[in-house]
Structure 1
Amino acid sequence: MKYRVILPALLLALGAARPASAQCCGYGMSYDNVVVWPQPDLRVPVPSVTEAKKAKPVLAKAKPAVKENARKLSMHFPPAQRAQVEQYYVESMATYLKLEKKMGWAPRDMAGGLAAFLVGNYMVLKERNVSDEEYAAVASQLRAQQGMQKMGDNADQEKLRDVFEQSAMVGVFMAVAYMAHEQKPQPSAVYDNLRNAARENLQLVLKTDPARLNIDKNGMRFQ
């Protein structure tokens, strides 16, 4: 996943931010949205090309609410930085939609947004880039799982939209932060704060220690 490097102010904001544990995990989604997440079953292998084509994508069909979801995510940052961070999240969603098109996925495919969340936080935690091939494998792995398919039966389409948008925003946001750090390493205290947030984000949705998580061309596995 490759993104443009944003202003150093982003990492300064990350360094100053503190998780609001009652509402979110690190720089992640609201807890209510995390509850909607289909917990990935990492025992399920990445489907074959034939199997992947059979998995009907679950789409976020409600009217987009990018600005509102960006505002919600920005509330987990210090007040003086919220307007700037909100704009970063809006830009992150625009970047995600371009990536989604590049990958050839159906517009607003839930699996792509959730995979972005996992991959972006993984990049920060493990301090390594993730290729498009690896990212696609994670998305395919999620798309074919029963938990993902059941999401399409959820009557609350606005909730699904919020999960999709916030997942994609946070994933790209974290990936961009990692890429910025890779180009210009930040003080250890700043990056440690970011890494801790990534660890908490992943633990919240995976329900286990993300230190064992590995992502490669075969998708996600616990080592």
Structure 2
Amino acid sequence: MKHIVLFMMLMAGVTPLSYGQCCGFGMSYNNVVVWPAPDLRLPVAEEKAAHKTVAPAVSRAKPAVEANAQQLSLHFPPDKRAEMARIYVQSMDIYLKIEKKMGWTPRDLAGGLAAFVVGNYMVLKNTEVSDEAFAAVARQFRAQAGLRELGKKQDQEKLRDVFEQSAMLGTFMALAHKSHQQQPQPPDVYENMRNSAQESLKLVLRTDPATLRIDASGIRP
């Protein structure tokens, strides 16, 4: 069971100090509306077949990593925003390395959405997720008809923002989980992080995240 994701995080040496100041971070309302809710009933076997014939949804807009990092930092107190924007930019750098290691099309929207779900899931469940499971979640998104249509019809800048913010937040949360493993946070701090993860997953998946599980078959309700 490989853990490329965790390896890349450890190699990056990122141990942000601001997890304890978390104050309810998440996607902006507009991006939550755009986010395509996956059909969790779709078997991974079907996703594999679909992946062979379906081009991934990729925004054609110019990257705006710093702007999206600043947008996400607004969920924190004013005195923490500059630090959090820096951490989100760093999180995006790590995600792009992970994306390359996974062999995905650069800036594939499905990968960013998968990172968001997996990172929040890791915090919520206080557990690891294997590369195989991470890849299965990405396939699950990639095979969704709604996601493919989104890639064709959605405003390209908004599509870019969904991808970048999802990837940043997911990587940030996975880093938070890894940081907690190495240096446990006080129970109330980690509970605050778990609550944030739960609310984020509830918003984007439109279901109760308490019953979710992620394994080599993808996301299951």
TM over 0.5, shorter chain: yes
Candidates 15, 23, 28, aligned match of 1:7: 15
Paired AA for residue 35 in structure 2: W
Query: Runs of 5+ in structure 1 lacking a partner?
Result: 20-26
Q: Which residue of 2 aligns with 1:184?
A: 183
Partner of 2:119: 120
SS at match of 1:43: coil
Which residue is equivalent to 1:211?
Answer: 210
Task: Mark the CA change 1:8 to 1:91 in structure 2 (over 3 Å): closer, same or farther.
Answer: closer
Kindly provide the amino acid, as one letter, of the partner of residue 99 in structure 1.
I
How far, CA to CA, are the matches of 1:132 and 1:7 in structure 2? Answer: 21
Deviations 1:2-49 (A, max 9, x none): 1135335122222xx2x3xxxxxxx11101011001111101111354
Cα distance change of structure 1 residues 206 and 216 upon mapping to structure 2, 3 Å threshold: same
What is the match of residue 145 of structure 2?
146
Query: Which has a greater percent of helix?
Result: 2
Partner of 1:96: 95
Question: Which residue matches 1:82?
Answer: 81
The count of corresponding residues between Structure 1 and Structure 2 is: 212
Partners of 2:120 and 2:58 lie apart in 1 by 22
Please give the alpha-carbon distance, in whole angstroms, between the structure 2 residues aligned to 1:155 and 1:133. Answer: 29
**In structure 2, C-alpha distance between the alignment counterparts of 1:45 and 1:164, rounded to whole Å:** 24
Query: Residue 88 of structure 2 aligns to a residue in which SS?
Result: helix
Aligned-partner SS, 2:94: helix
TM-score by length of 1: 0.92
Between the aligned partners of 1:106 and 1:149, the Cα distance in structure 2 is 14
> For residues 8 and 168 of structure 1, what CA distance do their matches in structure 2 show?
17
Between the aligned partners of 1:112 and 1:163, the Cα distance in structure 2 is 11
Q: Is the 8 A contact 1:10 1:177 kept in 2?
A: no
* Aligned counterparts of 1:183 and 1:28: Cα–Cα separation in 2: 24
Equivalent-residue separation in structure 1 for 2:138 and 2:104 (angstroms): 10
Write the mapping of 1:153-192 to structure 2, written as runs, cut at 5 A: 153-192=152-191
| Structure 2, unaligned runs of 5 or more | none
Secondary structure (helix, strand or coil) at the match of 1:61 reads: coil
Shift of 1:56: 1.4
Equivalence for 2:131: 132
Q: Give aligned-pair identity as a percent.
A: 58
Preserved CA contact (<8 Å) 1:59 1:110: yes
CA root-mean-square deviation: 1.2
If the length of structure 2 is used for normalisation, what is the TM-score? 0.93
